Structure 1
Amino acid sequence: MNLRSSWVAEIGQTREDTRLTQVGVTTMTNPVQVRSGILPGSYEGLHRMAGFWTFGSAAMSATVSEGRAVIQGEISQGAYPVTMPTSTVVTLAPGNAQYNRIDLIVLRIYDGLYDSSTTNSAKVEVIQGAAEQNPKVPLVPARCLPLYEVLVPAGASAGNGGIPWNTALKDLRTPVVSLGGILPVEGPVLPGAYPGQYQDAGGALQRWDGGAWVSYPQALGGILPSSASATPASYIGQYRDSTNGKLQRWDGSAWVPVVQGPYLVDNTDYGDTTSTTWTSTLLGRATNPLTLSFVAPPSRTIAVSFGARMKSNSADHYAFMALKLTRDTTVVGDLDDEYATIAASPHLVSASTTRRFTGLLAGQTYTFTAFFRIIANTTNLKAGFDNTFIKVDPLP
């Protein structure tokens, strides 16, 4: 088998062995030991990790692809770098007549200094599990790196179709990188070794803060992209780009829009009034009054526009529309002729007004209510209103 390792054979290590297997320090787990794992990389950069990729190549045999790996021994044994420059084939024993079993395909180091082996070597081999009604994964020996689990069905053999490789293999490979490198996460997410270590977790760059992996945008105070919108928030005041394209802020319990609104309400029913005092009810309308609630933005400032198609049945009489602003039961902006929308025409004309409000309480809910009247109604004329609307725009 063309699987090479350095610092195992007592004699006969070649320069080629040394060149192929020296990978340097890999992902640390503590000041002395490193993770066991596969070095990432693939042909043409198409995949994170192609080393030791395994696929079924015959009824009871699998091909294990070329690759490089590091296998950590006990703390006093050091790490064993291995390289397999060409693929190899492993064959599994036929299945039990009654029960399924789980086998492991592994990289294994035999070192006579620490075990009973008579030859110091590195091997790709199969560890056979026990056939049981509920089969378990076999125990992994020391200096052994699992690559794949293989579910061997009861009765599987070369003569009856063998192992269904498309569903039988479970990938156990995990990557390792040089010290300070960004680890591409495959398989289980393991704790970091030191604050400031980085890993790429499925497209999100993360930093180990000493107790948890923190996504890169969170650590910097940047804006989480919409692709990571499911990532939990880390602190009050964090921002994210939501999936609906609106910037949101974490308030401690929920993601809320950074800028609320704009807000709009309208009523397309025609209604009229003969009242010379302010009224919020128009005769002939199915729905009264016309109201619009909004949340005051952090700037505490909004612009409100309102208007209608209006008439007064006479050029000598005026139709008025104005807004009252309230917060709960408190009147914040009362009705005022100076800020009203006014029209004097026997025909419907379009009229609107925009007004700025400032000094609001950020985060509080306010309500605009539309009021109407006619001045002066000496001949009992009516002021008519159609297509009435209120629109609130938060200002920066």
Structure 2
Amino acid sequence: MNILSWDERERVLVALTRGMSALEVSRAMGVARTTLSRWAILAGMTFTLGHHGGVAAVDMDRVVTVHSGRAYRRLTLADRSYIQAARSLPEPLSMRRIASELGVSASTVSRELSQHGVEYATQRRYVAEVAHYRALTARPRTRPGRLADPWLRVAVMAGLNAKHSPQQVAERLRLKYPNHPERHVSHETIYQALYVQGKGALRHELTVEKALRSGRTGRIPQSKLPRRSSRPWLEGARLTDRPAEAADRAVPGHWEGDLVVGPDNSGLVTLVERRTRYALIGRLPGKRDSTTVIDVLQDLVKGLPASMRKTLTWDQGSEMAQHAEFTIATDCPVFFCDPHSPWQRGSNENLNGLIRDFYPKGSNFNHVSDVDIEEMQQLLNDRPRKTLGYYTPREKLEPLITGVALAS
């Protein structure tokens, strides 16, 4: 009887994992199919008998998936090939050295070698293709569900039938039995038993019509695709895209803006120049849609020279969805702050607070005249500011426009 060396046996096993039939391997290697079957079974592979039998074909380039929430990563075929090469050296690399090179824990390498080794004579050999094949074809391990425990199942059912939420049921069990972890269950486990048939099917054992306040019998599926932007006007116009000179207030002409709103769709458009704190305020005509806001903005800045219309910074409100039209009309690009970051428009937030001294929250700006708005704007621009060395915003802005510098 011809006894093949380990290298020859390895070639046989690799050929099987690559999809060659038992007949093809037998003819190419000169090994009986019964011997192939025995070797495949010893290597942990399922072998199919018959004229064209062999092992089931799999995509060897596929990566074994990892359940969400797991911190570790699965080994790839390239990883396993490195392990085989490292352990086949005249002086094999240590498991810790291999783990360090692959970026995994040493226990992962140790477990890989012990679980996927192939018996040969009195030794266990490691073959990367065989190990990867076994990992790809392994059935996921299952264990009895937490709610298979009769006592725990009854306790959970009692809580749900009393119209308690899964979280309330889980926390009450922890509260009543703090020293009995076997009587604890997570609310996620209860949700799974309610939503997923076969996890316990609690829904069919309930005496109440609705187990959850939402009334849903299944979870809303979440797409694996990136969430489509609901604010496409932000693209290319975020704060990170704004010129760096706008950040330090050294260069005039950079503005911050926002709305001050009231009932009945009333509101004000407020602008403040970042360096001088000069304010421009316009009243909205009973509408707060983007077209109306853009029209008011254009009227506010149309009297400014081009050098004083460098940028405008706004929050992410939909009233600026048509900001491109404002930029085309005024040659002033608009940039948007990060969500929930009002400090990125700190001067404008301060201005709006001053406006609330004149018109507290709840004020209906539809009942405020344009003359009153203009008077408020003048008062604010003639107000001395500590941050300006007690100059007024008007005194700081006018020299920039006329070219006359104030004495420092």
Superposition TM-score, scaled by structure 1 size: 0.22
Return the TM-score normalized by structure 2.
0.22
- Return the structure number with greater relative CO, CA threshold 8 A, min gap 6: 1
Structure whose residues are more often helix by fraction: 2
